Structure 1
Amino acid sequence: MVRRVGVLLGLLVLVGLVAAPGPAAAFGTIDAGGQSREHERLTRAALSCAAGSGASGPDCFQPGTVDYLAGHGHEFGAVGAPDSDELSDPAAHCDDADYVAGAYPRTRDQATAALVDCLNHLRMRFGEAVDRARGLLGPDGEVLPTEVGLHPECRSREQREDRAKCATLEAFGRALHGVQDFYAHSNWADEADPARPVGDENPPGLGLPAPSPLLDLRGSAAPDPPAALSTGCWAPRDEVPGVGPCELRVTHAGLNKDRGQIDPTTGAATAPTTARGMVGDNFARAVSGAVTETRRQWQDLRSELVVRYGTDRGERMICALTRDDPVNDCAGRNLAAAVAVGAGLAVVAIGAFLWSRRRPVRR
């Protein structure tokens, strides 16, 4: 009887998580409740080594590694981690930076302050990724097998994963979640409904390209957003018009472009299901912006690893983060470095020998 009650309670909790609105009502993480694993699919389109994905060469993520970064099956993955334990943190999803010019309950400065909270949160996650990458390599720059293995699979929960590769990808995935949500939750790339007056229920669209200069996670400067930039206010009752703390404000429900179908290979976005997403090509713009931003953040992380740890170690870290078998695949980089050093020493030795032979012999 006790076991049956426990199973029943577990099912009720699961149903509640799927049905309940919240900041997790962002680009989707699961295949239920109207979600279609949008975070996973756009992350794969941006960074997977799969043919036709748009990513190629040694800096894309091989299949086993991208499974953890993007998520798969019932696994949230690193990019979905904020939907498991940061549901109530607006900064993790870039919510609550709402503003419309004119008579509005909040000022531009208040909206910008919420945007700063989001940016600081994502910079913190990005910095964690850079810090945790240190553990990928040993003191001589060798890839550490115990730190890069993916079996058993990484666990995307804070404070539970000790392997350096898992911890680095989790921190990076959490940063990606927020920057992707920025495009779904804001009016940065979209347009307003031309059939309705502009206001809190139909904020103006900015129609701006990605990547956004506001999302510089390597820097420390305060953002300077456009005057009309807005993200949605979120409350447990996420409705249009807003209720409770979101009354008379732009709401997440009214502005988000979270739901639709995304091709995980090409990034093509179709069949949007949210009101704002169905205006023009807003859903496709949000997805395209998120894909472009995801690639920019990966480029920035690679650059930061090289700056922090030097070219040789940084490139070896990048290899370890992207390859499924880094102990073997990245060993060549160790060997190349050793060969280069050895060749340099050999040149010096030969030069010294030849110079000594040219010296006249004193009698």
Structure 2
Amino acid sequence: MAFLLSLVLLACAAMGPALGFGTIDTGGQHREHERITRAAFAAGFEPATLDYLAGHDREFGAVGAPDSDEMADPAAHCDDADYLDGDYPRTESTAVSALTDCVDHLRQQFRTGLDSAADLLDGNGEVVPEEVTASPECNPKERDEERAKCTVLESFGRVLHGAQDFYSHSNWADQADPARPIGDDNPPGLHRPGPSPLLDLRGATVARPPEGFTTGCYVLQDQVPGVGACRLRITHAALNKDRGLIDPVTGRATSPGTPRGEVADNFADAVAGAIAESRRQWDDFGTELISRYGRDRGERMVCALTHDDPVRDCQGSSRNRYIVIALAGGLVVAVAFLLARRSRRTHR
């Protein structure tokens, strides 16, 4: 299935750039989403769990899921929130509305993941083995996938995908080409670091974007100047920093593969922002688990979501109590035995 999807994505790549940082390792892409995710979480997730979250070989992983079933949804990739001050074919309020759609879409995935986490533990706060097993490997494309750990990580992976695309598809982290005038083919750059306050998924509203903020308009025939619905607009082709080489351990980004990415350090800055944003989203997700389910259960959920063997590594407090009780009971029996033995010796 992943191979067939790769062929579809390759065909799309031949007609125009991919919808975001790359998911496959062909057609000019270098599995950028996987590499960003690995660089962000190499120290926090154990290997098999990270394989599912980030993807590996021909598996898209949770972070790649939107490139299999949400390719045409601009909200999943933070596209179409384009605006340029002056004579522009759409209003600023329309662009802000498109950005709000993106944040709301990611926020819904964030909350779905929080909801699904309830099934990781039983009523006593213990990890449920069948809900966290990694065999067979989770598959985000299987609609009958019901294991809690799989569904939580899929939702969070979809959050990561859109949050990472935000840095590639917008001008939040980049700079305009100083050798050319500002226009729809060379929009301004804000050159800001990640994480961005625009992607606060714990909140209930969306912060107003700073002056000059824009993403790009995307249609299948993605080019500069724009055509069709993107005519006279800032396009994804003009703004994206989707392609290049990323070290999956250090996050070092080199060899940018798009025109905007080649300006200054734009590709490296977009990758750095995406890594910082990914870590912020996980920190926020863990904080929300604790806020919703309490510290003990929330921390155990975080353990279950990051460890390859949660049943072994994430024992609950009730199980610990049973162990303490058993040890205490054994100690009482041992003391009683010694006292009885001493008493028999005294009466001899």
Q: Normalising by structure 2, report the TM-score.
A: 0.89
1:139 maps to 2:134: no
Measured after TM superposition, the shift of residue 10 of structure 1 is 9.6
Q: Distance in 1 between matches of 2:201 and 2:6?
A: 39
Alignment of 1:6-155 (within 5 A): 15-21=10-16, 24-49=18-43, 60-155=44-139
Q: Normalising by structure 1, report the TM-score.
A: 0.85
Partner of 1:346: none
Measured after TM superposition, the shift of residue 156 of structure 1 is 1.0
Measured after TM superposition, the shift of residue 160 of structure 1 is 2.8
Alignment of 1:263-278 (within 5 A): 263-278=247-262
Structure 1 residues 12 and 199, CA gap change in structure 2 (3 angstroms): closer
Partner of 2:267: 283
Percent identical residues: 62
Q: Deviations over 1:266-295 (max 9, x none)?
A: 000000010000000000000000000000
| Contact 1:108–1:227 under 8 Å retained in 2 | no
Alpha-carbon RMSD: 2.1
| Contact 2:216–2:234 under 8 Å retained in 1 | yes
| Contact 2:164–2:277 under 8 Å retained in 1 | yes
| Contact 1:148–1:165 under 8 Å retained in 2 | yes
Q: Deviations over 1:85-135 (max 9, x none)?
A: 000000000000001111111111110000000000000000011000111
1:197 maps to 2:181: yes
What is the SS of the residue equivalent to 1:331? coil
What is the SS of the residue equivalent to 2:163? helix
Measured after TM superposition, the shift of residue 20 of structure 1 is 4.1
What is the SS of the residue equivalent to 2:288? helix
> Which letter maps to 1:133?
A
Partner of 1:359: none
> Which sections of structure 2, spanning at least 5 residues, go unmatched?
327-348
Partner of 1:320: 304
1:227 maps to 2:221: no
| Contact 1:316–1:333 under 8 Å retained in 2 | no
Q: Deviations over 1:38-73 (max 9, x none)?
A: 000010000123xxxxxxxxxx10000000000000
Measured after TM superposition, the shift of residue 159 of structure 1 is 3.1
| Contact 1:262–1:270 under 8 Å retained in 2 | yes
Structure 1 residues 341 and 248, CA gap change in structure 2 (3 angstroms): farther
> Which letter maps to 1:33?
G
Structure 1 residues 334 and 38, CA gap change in structure 2 (3 angstroms): farther
Measured after TM superposition, the shift of residue 186 of structure 1 is 0.2
> Which letter maps to 1:106?
R
Q: Distance in 1 between matches of 2:303 and 2:9?
A: 38
> Which sections of structure 1, spanning at least 5 residues, go unmatched?
1-8, 50-59, 343-363
Q: Distance in 2 between matches of 1:213 and 1:273?
A: 28
Where does structure 1 differ by over 2 angstroms across 4 or more consecutive aligned residues?
9-22, 157-160, 332-342
Question: How many equivalent pairs are there?
Answer: 324
What is the SS of the residue equivalent to 2:49? helix
| Contact 1:312–1:337 under 8 Å retained in 2 | no
Measured after TM superposition, the shift of residue 223 of structure 1 is 2.2
Q: Distance in 2 between matches of 1:46 and 1:12?
A: 28
Measured after TM superposition, the shift of residue 232 of structure 1 is 0.4
> Which letter maps to 2:31?
R
